[in-house]
Structure 1
Amino acid sequence: MFPTTAVRAGWHRGIIELRQTFTNAQELFGQLFWPVLLLVALFFMRDSEFSDTGISLAALALPGVVGMTIAFNGMMGMSGSLAIDREDGTLLRAKAIPHGMVSYLVGKVVTVTGWVVAGVLLLLVPGAFLVGDLALGSAGAWLTLTWVVLLGATAMLPMGAVLGSLIANPRSQGLVMLPLSGLAAISGIFYPITAMAGWLQVVAQVFPVYWLGIGLRSALLPDEAAAVELTGSWRAVETVAVLGVWAVAGLVLAPVVLRRMARRESGSSVAARREKAMQRIG
């Protein structure tokens, strides 16, 4: 199998997994539950105004909600899928096929990217009608939205792959969830970062979640909303730079970590994990 064939096979694998996600009632419920819950929260926030800006809390919150959907679906989706496939032997079978890891990774990227895009659309389309203060009437806004979503997903997915290769099993997902929730709390995703302590503002700006949030706000909100940001501007250049650095670092590191993880996989290790899982069920 040539690498191009492996990439093609991975693409088809990802499409099949996406189709299974959106035709399986249990998985479809999992995809819809949080977006619907968040939309309900936005509905009740739509009449509340933030300070004297004239912008509703719902409008300020929607970009953050979309940003966290990208971060959580990207990181948790990728790390969770890797942990599950590692435990049930899927990864070992992929390793045994020529260029199988290439095909496997392409498939996972396609699947998780599909989850990210679906989550964004599930929030953004009805959210635009609920909120009403969004500035999506220009081609520039849609262009900004597109590159922020794509660059943000590119920064998050490799991080999820690295973390997924490090956790022992799917039940260890809390090791990914806790730090990601902490980043969400300090990154101004749901509330302007200017209301937080100065040292927290510095820490938040090191990580991609803050920049994902400000990038989405620049696409979805009117220009006057930039007044509540740290510098009173959308900082587009810095957003591209920081998200780009995280994306490049992840794309360089993830294949190295995944290759090391794959080398450690064996029939005996998969059997041992299955036995432990059966003991927990029993």
Structure 2
Amino acid sequence: MSAMTSGQTVETVGAVTGTGTTDDAGRQRAPWSEVWRIGRVRMRVEVLQLTRNTGLLIYTFALPVVMLLLFGSIFRGKIAGTDATYQQVYATGMIGMCVINGALQNLAYQVATERHTRALKRLRSTPMPAVSYFLGKVASVLAATLAQVAVMLTVGVAVMGLRLPTSPGPWLTFTWVLLLGCTACSLLGIGLSGLIRSENGSAVVWLPIMVLQFISGVFIVFSTLPKPVQEIGAVFPVKWLCQGMRSVFLPDSFKYSEPAGSWEHGRLALVLTAWCVVGLVMCLKTFTWRGRDDG
């Protein structure tokens, strides 16, 4: 089977058949078996495209490692009143950074680029169901995020003294925090892609994400930030994603350094879920298959 890129129509998509309702373009809706079949093809295509994008791979995998090693070499020693070191805290923050970069920032750029090159418009003209397209994006996000997290954990354990949990409880927390974080960031990424009005408009997304990382505990220990900055950071999902990762990989004594003196797993889940809803609303309101200059 030949590979399919975003700007190409291939025979593997095939003619979608079936009876029932029609979509917003007036086309007949495909049965779920066909949606899933084409979605699997799209998943393979998206993951293959990801592995062939050398520049994106370097940025995605090298940047977090370089940042971790840089901050880890500058800030050393234990954090007062805890059994955690600065290096361990930065390792957990970089795991959160991997989710933000892979599921939000990179996805926003990819979708915006496909829209501006009219690849989305061409894909929409094929029999491929819209759901199949998004299944492919989900697969690429999960593949990239899991690979990045694996790299960061390896570096964290080997160089930063990070200790992996030995009981199933923390790993269960890690799983639901990662899934909620990926879901919220993916939806926000697709929604924010509509704000990138040109191929050179990436700063619209990049700049606020970079600011959020600084005020959310990625590059600076969250408890050392001024109170007003903490309150602003607590509104957004980045802070809660990083706090969830700290709860998994840092000693339990570190929770007393958090603003609330606990890991706040219940509130964490509510905030990330709320951002999933916000991201979904943004997708429904802002996502389009055509660029503003398309006919």
TM-score using structure 1 length? 0.86
Alignment of 1:169-248 (within 5 A): 169-248=198-277
For the 8 Å contact 1:42–1:130, the answer to whether it is kept is: no
For the 8 Å contact 1:35–1:122, the answer to whether it is kept is: no
- CA apart distance, 1:27: 4.2
- CA apart distance, 1:152: 0.4
- CA apart distance, 1:121: 1.2
Identical positions, percent: 31
Match of 1:275 in 2: none
Match of 1:94 in 2: 123
Of residues 125-134 and 219-228 in structure 1, the stretch that sits farther from structure 2 once superposed is 125-134
Sort the Cα spacing of 1:133 and 1:100 in 2 relative to 1 into closer, same or farther, 3 A: closer
- Whole-angstrom CA distance in 1 between matches of 2:195 and 2:51: 28
- CA apart distance, 1:14: 2.4
- The residue type paired with residue 176 of structure 2 is W
For the 8 Å contact 2:164–2:249, the answer to whether it is kept is: yes
Of residues 85-94 and 8-17 in structure 1, the stretch that sits farther from structure 2 once superposed is 8-17
Sort the Cα spacing of 1:69 and 1:187 in 2 relative to 1 into closer, same or farther, 3 A: same
Moved over 3 A (4+): 23-28
For the 8 Å contact 1:42–1:62, the answer to whether it is kept is: no
- The residue type paired with residue 244 of structure 1 is T
Alignment of 1:1-282 (within 5 A): 1=16, 2-4=30-32, 5-23=34-52, 25-41=54-70, 44=73, 47-98=76-127, 100-258=129-287, 261-262=288-289, 264-265=290-291, 269-270=293-294
Sort the Cα spacing of 1:81 and 1:204 in 2 relative to 1 into closer, same or farther, 3 A: same
Sort the Cα spacing of 1:26 and 1:68 in 2 relative to 1 into closer, same or farther, 3 A: closer
Of residues 179-188 and 193-202 in structure 1, the stretch that sits farther from structure 2 once superposed is 193-202
Of residues 182-191 and 56-65 in structure 1, the stretch that sits farther from structure 2 once superposed is 182-191
- Whole-angstrom CA distance in 1 between matches of 2:31 and 2:282: 20
Unaligned stretches of 5+ in structure 2? 1-15, 17-29
- Whole-angstrom CA distance in 2 between matches of 1:237 and 1:148: 11
- The residue type paired with residue 42 of structure 2 is R
- Whole-angstrom CA distance in 2 between matches of 1:62 and 1:126: 8
What is the DSSP-based 3-state SS (H/G/I as helix, E as strand, rest coil) of the residue aligned with 2:200?
helix
- The residue type paired with residue 13 of structure 1 is R
For the 8 Å contact 1:165–1:257, the answer to whether it is kept is: yes
- The residue type paired with residue 247 of structure 2 is S
What is the DSSP-based 3-state SS (H/G/I as helix, E as strand, rest coil) of the residue aligned with 1:231?
coil
Match of 1:278 in 2: none
- Whole-angstrom CA distance in 2 between matches of 1:227 and 1:44: 25
Unaligned stretches of 5+ in structure 1? 272-282
- The residue type paired with residue 179 of structure 1 is P
What is the DSSP-based 3-state SS (H/G/I as helix, E as strand, rest coil) of the residue aligned with 1:172?
coil
- Alpha-carbon displacement from aligned partner over 1:87-143 (angstroms, at most 9, x marks no partner): 222100122234532222221121122212211111112312222242512111111
Of residues 190-199 and 145-154 in structure 1, the stretch that sits farther from structure 2 once superposed is 190-199
- Whole-angstrom CA distance in 2 between matches of 1:252 and 1:243: 14
TM-score using structure 2 length? 0.82
Match of 2:4 in 1: none
- CA apart distance, 1:54: 3.4
Match of 2:24 in 1: none
- Whole-angstrom CA distance in 1 between matches of 2:69 and 2:229: 30
Count of aligned pairs = 266
For the 8 Å contact 1:78–1:161, the answer to whether it is kept is: yes
